[in-house]
Each structure stands twice: as C-alpha cells, then as structure tokens.
Amino acid sequence: MDIKVVAVVILLSAYASAQPVKPTLYFFSDSKSFSATGRWVPSDSKEKAAYPSETQMNCDRASKTCVEATAEYYSGHPHVSLAYFAIAKWDAQQIVATSSDAICMVQTVVVSFSDKTISETHSIKKMNHEKEQACEAFGAGGTQIDVFVVKNSPRWKDDPFGESSTKY
C-alpha cells in the first residue's frame, strides 16, 4: 500500500511539474495600493523608446501619492530618476494621478484595472509666450502619450529590451 501511495505522489508531482507555469504579470492592485513594473514606450508604434529602461510604479491610496522610479541606460552609464504624482481619482476602475513638477509639462498617469493598462500623457503647461518659447527650445511642446509595457506581458516577452518599434 505504501508503494502505491508513493507512486501516486510521484505521478502527481511529475504531472504538476510538466504543466506550463504562467509567468507573474507585474501588475498588482488591491483597495489600498497599486504597483507595476515595466517600461514606458511611445504610443506611436512607429517610434521607440530613446533608451533601454525599466520602471516601477507604486501608489498608496491613503497618502494619495504615486512614485515612479525609472532606471535607464545611456551614455555608457545607468541613470535613475524619480517622479512623484498626486492621485486625483481612485475608484474600482482606475487611478488618475498628475504631476506638474516639471517646468514646462504636466504629466497625467491613468491606470486601468480592468484591462491592466497604464498610459501617461505629457502636456504643455499654460504659460506666457516667453516661457513657452523657452520650453519649445528644449523640445517641450505639444502633447506626447506613452504606454506602459507591463513586465511579463505578451508585448514584453516579444520585445524584452524595448528595441522593436513596428510590431505594435
């Protein structure tokens, strides 16, 4: 009888280990917090990100804040940046958070829980003509929309280093 039990346990464990393991999608939310890991890419599929990067976003409902940490690699060195956002809305469907810390631009992040997507819009601030010209001289003008590629999503797996610009 002991041999049969051992044989069944071995067969069950062999069956379980043969089943494909679904990778963890780096998108987590509950009623108090949200976190995601991935990378920002331009929404225009003809463009690609300027540098290889990875971003972690964490939001806390109680403090009404989101923090976005991005590691990029350019000019032969790693670079890390932090962005802070104030949560304007958090309901069962989405989070909307904004930051106007940049001199020229307002950033708005929208997290959709149902389809597990994140977008970020960079819009020019309202300012006088002189400041607007200065911002344009630094390349800040108009509106730019980025989409977040969640780590281990199908798009991430197809292009793990963010080098493709035409597939999506």
Class of CATH domain 26-158: mainly beta
- The structural domains of the chain, with segments of one domain joined by +, span 26-158
Angstrom distance (rounded) from CA 124 to CA 97: 16
pTM (predicted TM-score): 0.80
pLDDT over 50 (residue 168): no
pLDDT grade, residue 33 (50/70/90)?
very high
CA 95 vs CA 52, 58, 119, 152: distances in Å: 26, 12, 11, 22
CB within 8 Å of 127: residues ≥ 6 apart: 104, 135
CA 97 vs CA 3, 59, 109, 135: distances in Å: 60, 9, 5, 23
pLDDT tens track for 51-67: 889 999 999 999 999 99
The pLDDT of residue 6 is 47
pLDDT grade, residue 9 (50/70/90)?
very low
